[in-house]
Amino acid sequence: MSMSAEQEVLKQRLDEIEKRIQAACERSNRKREDVKIIAVTKYVGAETIGDLLAVGVEHIGENRLQDALPKYQQYGDRGHWHFIGHLQTNKAKEVVGRFAYIHSLDRISLAQELNKRGEALNQVVSCFLQINISGEETKFGLSPDDVLAFLQETSNMKHIKIVGLMTMAPVVDNPDEARFVFRGLAEWKDRINEWNFPHAEVTELSMGMSSDFEVAIEEGATYIRLGSILVKPE
Ligand SMILES: *Cc1c(COP(=O)(O)O)cnc(C)c1O
């Protein structure tokens, strides 16, 4: 089967990104297979998702439910879908059952709603706890000071499990300036695992975007969320 021009372009961009991922893995002594790409498709339409899947992308990330639903309707049976944006509590029920992972769990009310919906569908909802490491007021995410209490309060919720942590790094000129945020999130993974909560066995770190994914990989990212470098906004 031959590739369309659009697919050729995506494949070329993926090849370039792949080299950079491999180099970052080598620098930090990590295995390439431990880093997965989430293609963030918020800038583009469903047809680009079809092209991404056709050239081998396995993870699709969307941050707004209304935009994501029609795309999901078309391609939801292919790939693994990640909800990466801020999630309103009243929208949670539409995300559960569709998206395999929710990266933006950041408050008790949302945990309660996800748990309730998971129970109704008889499934366990895989979540990433979003932590605001940088402390910027404009960013969503649980404050590090509240993480322990959050885990205690959610420990009886049988239909959610926290498989990973997610953070948004500050916008900086030099990606190295964001390193402390990635390192900080990785430290929270170790700390949480030491607490041994049965519902929070954290193996994944969702961190790093187009401008800083190499630094994130060096600090332990297992999912990098790539938008503009892969699907350029018009
Ligand atoms: C848009 C977005 C990304 C991707 O950003 P790029 O800089 O375009 O790679 C990653 N994560 C979240 C939560 C986003 O909203």
CA 69/CA 57 separation, integer angstroms: 19
User: What is the per-residue pLDDT for 233?
Assistant: 66
What are the helix (H) ranges across 46-160?
A: 46-54, 65-75, 92-95, 108-120, 147-154
pLDDT tens-digit readout, 97-115: 999 999 999 999 999 999 9
User: What is the per-residue pLDDT for 138?
Assistant: 87
What token pair was written down for 82? 């990640």
Instruction: Report which ligand 1 atom has the smallest distance to the Cα of 228.
Output: 8
Please say whether the beta carbons of 147 and 194 come within 8 A. Answer: no
CA distances from 114 to 124, 197, 210, 231 (A): 9, 18, 29, 30
Q: Which residue's CA is the closest to the ligand 1 atom numbered 4? A: 227
What token pair was written down for 137? 């007021």
Q: Which residue's CA is the closest to the ligand 1 atom numbered 1? A: 227
pLDDT tens track, the chain, 234 positions: 689 999 999 999 999 999 999 999 999 999 999 999 999 999 999 999 999 999 999 999 999 999 999 999 999 999 999 999 999 999 999 999 999 999 999 999 999 999 999 999 999 999 999 999 999 988 899 999 999 999 999 999 999 999 999 999 999 999 999 999 999 999 999 999 999 999 999 999 999 999 999 999 999 999 999 999 999 865
Phi/psi of residue 125, nearest 5 degrees:
-85, 120
User: What is the per-residue pLDDT for 234?
Assistant: 58
Q: Which residue's CA is the closest to the ligand 1 atom numbered 5? A: 227
- The residues with which 206 forms a beta bridge, in sequence order, are 166, 223
Angle between helices 5-27 and 46-54 (to 10 degrees): 60
CA 117/CA 121 separation, integer angstroms: 6
Q: Which residue, 85, 129, 126, 86, is CA-closest to 105?
A: 129
Does ligand 1 come within 6 angstroms of the Cβ of 40?
yes
Instruction: Report which ligand 1 atom has the smallest distance to the Cα of 38.
Output: 10
User: What is the per-residue pLDDT for 18?
Assistant: 98
Q: Which residue, 145, 148, 92, is CA-closest to 120?
A: 92
Instruction: Report which ligand 1 atom has the smallest distance to the Cα of 213.
Output: 9
pTM of the complete model: 0.97
Does ligand 1 come within 6 angstroms of the Cβ of 92?
no
Q: How many helices (H) and strands (E) does the chain have?
A: 8, 8
CA 35/CA 108 separation, integer angstroms: 29
- Eight-class DSSP state of 130: E
User: What is the per-residue pLDDT for 211?
Assistant: 96
User: What is the per-residue pLDDT for 2?
Assistant: 84
